[in-house]
Amino acid sequence: MVGHKNIVVKVESLTSSLSGVGHIGNKAVFIEGVLPGEEVVLRDISHKKNYCMAIADEILSPSPFRRSPPCPLYNACGGCNFMHCSYSGQLSLKEKILRGLFQRVFKTDLLDSIDFSVVQTKELGYRNRARFHLMELNRETYVPGFQMRNSNEIIPVQNCPCLDSSINNILKNNKLSERINESLKTATKKEIYGYKKDGIHVFGVSGANINGNSAQNTWLESEAQKKVCLLLCKKILRFDVRGFFQSNIYGLERLIDDNFFFRGDSFLDFYSGCGTFSVFLEDSFKTGVLLEHNVKALSMAKENLSNKNIEFIGFSDSKWCELPQSQRKFDLVVMDPPRSGLSEKVINWLIETKQPEICFISCNPVTLVRDFSVLIKTGGYRLKKGRLYDFYPQTGHMESFWILKHEN
């Protein structure tokens, strides 16, 4: 049921997805685009069984953090959802969101080991890669853009404040549009389908050369150009732009510089990808195992690592738990799971094998707290260190670094 009567509520907090939380009577109402402390007039209130959803029709008392978004496309584009908040406000509110998630589950003594202050990187111009969708103007002309908010429609983009300048440079004067359309004229139907379905991947940070192609201003036109490399904390790292890779090199370098001082005999890199973290471990450990289900990513990892005592395993995390070799102990287990977090099978494997130390990189605080609740409360692990890194300013995404140690 949707109600159209205007109701005024005070925004009490934000969820991890940045929805504002208020109350209509005893029922919570979730509102997009608002900030804590604001009084807002609601419209189009949708009443669910246990909660409501509504649109903020008017901000009666704006938060001191509220600002005019530094992007003219902000209200239409689906890329950012926090640009209406000042950057200092974003950092403060992300800290409160993470602290609140932990406080609901853990006691005060555990919270003392967490530094909830946010390590900031660059507010704007930080994204070193982008995936553009193609908007068809006519049969022979396409322009790059992003999906609109809450829609599959495409909004053309010629400049994005969050993108590295090298990407914006090829957007200016329709340089990317011209290159795309020229490529499509000579492409096969299969290639055209690939462009339309998957969009254009653009990588925009200057780096070393691979297959004769600079990492700067790379778009997909050939198999060779789908592989690029960059200099990451003085290490050359190769990867396939079609696979996963961090979109904030500045933040990634800060996280590595701050934390990767591990040493030991053996390490296991769970969800290793192209070996991003392993390249900073191979010189400090005698042996290592990289686990990655994506064949292309694992192939790039083999190119990135030079230690002859590294083993590469192309299985899923659940399949790994069934292997006899999974029962061994490693001095360090590195885990950088997807947003869905750890599966029950992987959590049980960690608890059963009592891996002595876990380096955990999380991109989702909700699943992070869920997984830590089991590992710490019933799995024999204690939290040694925790820190939040702002990899994605102007959005609600949070990247964080953690170290867990087993009591035994």
C-alpha 262/C-alpha 284 separation (Å) is 7
Q: Could you give phi then psi for residue 96, rounded to 5 degrees?
A: -65, -40
292 is in an annotated binding site: yes
DSSP state, 148? B
407 is in an annotated binding site: no
Are 202 and 133 a contacting pair, CB within 8 Å? Answer: no
**Residue 79: burial class (beta carbons within 10 Å; 0-12, 13-18, 19+):** buried
246 is in an annotated binding site: yes
**Residue 60: burial class (beta carbons within 10 Å; 0-12, 13-18, 19+):** exposed
CA angle 366-371-374, nearest 5°?
135
Encoding tokens for residue 108? Answer: 């005060």
At position 359, the amino acid (one-letter code) is C
250 is in an annotated binding site: no
Q: Could you give phi then psi for residue 314, rounded to 5 degrees?
A: -95, 60
Instruction: Calculate the CA dihedral of residues 23, 29, 33, 38 and round it to 10 degrees.
Output: 0
CA angle 362-83-162, nearest 5°?
70
Give the residue numbers marked as catalytic: 363
Report the binding-site residues for S-adenosyl-L-methionine.
Answer: 246, 271, 292, 336
